[in-house]
Amino acid sequence: MEYSAGTVLCEPDARLGHAYFPIDSIISIQRVTVDGASTEVASVGNEGVFGVDLVMGDEPTGSRAVVLSRGLMYRLRSDILIEEFHRGGAMQYLMLRYMRALLALVAQGAVCNQRHSIDQQLCRWILLTLDRLGSEELAMTHELLANTLGVRREGVTEAARRLQNAGLISYRRGRIRVLDRHGLVASCCECYGTVRREYDRLLDPDAYLLHQGPLAAAGRDCARRERSERILA
């Protein structure tokens, strides 16, 4: 299925009916405060799945999931995912590896948000996001980006302007394009490299950097089996 940017897949305290496996899109996992403000705590691309909570117990999720980048995803019913996970085969192995990578992303993001400048946080976010898309361009409004990073819109605008003035990116009409990737990496804090090393160690970098990752492929196969069983029944 194709989803547009800004689509909310899940609200806090809702029960997940499906798991989502991005192919060429990005899902932002956000925590929401009592005043309605939101901050991204993790993101999911073609290396992973939104719905890992399902295999840890059928409890309401505490996060909001928003599509950041328009694209395709496989959608798998929650009961099918849980059943497949408990078979103990490839799906279980891949999801457990992915959970470790996701924890590393969340932990390093917490450090980055506390210790590093908005410019560095923006560099980290751009690089990690575009790695999953296999592209050097991303459609993203100031408002959505500010909500994602949990900072003022003016702060994002100023940080993006500084990166643009340095010749690292172009940012206009809601589109970010990387002009100097090496320069962007050099301007970033160590957090991007730390997360990438963990992803490369735990996941197959050749599979997720340029095309569909193995976890998405496993989700696709489960969805196809489920549809076939419905038709045969």
Helices in the chain by DSSP H: which ranges?
A: 78-85, 90-115, 118-133, 142-149, 153-165, 181-187, 191-202, 205-208, 214-232
What pLDDT score was predicted for residue 226?
65
- Which is higher by pLDDT, 137 or 227? 137
Q: Give per-residue pLDDT as tens, 105-126.
A: 999 999 998 999 999 999 999 9
- The structure tokens listed for 163 are 């990166």
Structural domains in the chain plus CATH codes: 2-223 (2.60.120.10)
Whether 144 and 138 have beta carbons less than 8 Å apart is answered as: no
pLDDT of 36 > 80? The answer is yes
What pLDDT score was predicted for residue 210?
46
Q: Give per-residue pLDDT as tens, 77-97.
A: 999 999 999 998 888 999 999
Q: Give per-residue pLDDT as tens, 156-167.
A: 889 999 999 999
